Amino acid sequence: MNNLDKSPLPSDLIETRKQELLQMCLGATAGYIDAFGLIKFKIYLSFMSGNTTQSGNLLAKGNFTHAVLPLTAIFSFFMGVFLGTVASQIKNYKMQWMPFVPVIGGLVLFLLLAHFLAMGSWVSIVIIGTVMGYMNTAASKVGRQSINPDFVTGTLNNMAKHLALSLFNRYPSDTEAIWDTHTRRYILLFLVWASFIGGAIINTLVFQYWVNWSLLIPVLVLIILTLNGFRNASVVKDR
* Mean pLDDT computed over 66-70: 96
Domains of the chain: 10-234 (1.20.1250)
Tens of pLDDT, residue by residue over 135-181, are: 999 877 888 888 888 889 999 999 999 999 999 988 999 887 788 89
- Give the single-character DSSP code of 89: T
* 177-205 per-position pLDDT tens digit: 788 899 999 999 999 999 999 999 999 99
Residues of the chain with pLDDT > 90: what percent? Answer: 72
Rounded to two decimals, the pTM is 0.92
What is the rounded CA–CA span in Å between residue 195 and residue 29?
A: 8
Q: Are 153 and 29 in contact (CB under 8 A)?
A: no
Tens digit of pLDDT for each residue in 12-38? Answer: 667 888 899 999 999 999 999 999 999
Per-residue pLDDT band at 5 (split at 50, 70, 90): very low
* Arithmetic mean of pLDDT, 206-225: 97
pLDDT digits (tens, 9 = 90+) for 91-134: 888 888 999 999 999 999 999 999 998 888 999 999 999 999 99
What element of type H or E holds 141?
A: strand 141-142
Question: Based on C-alpha coordinates, what's the Rg of the chain?
Answer: 19
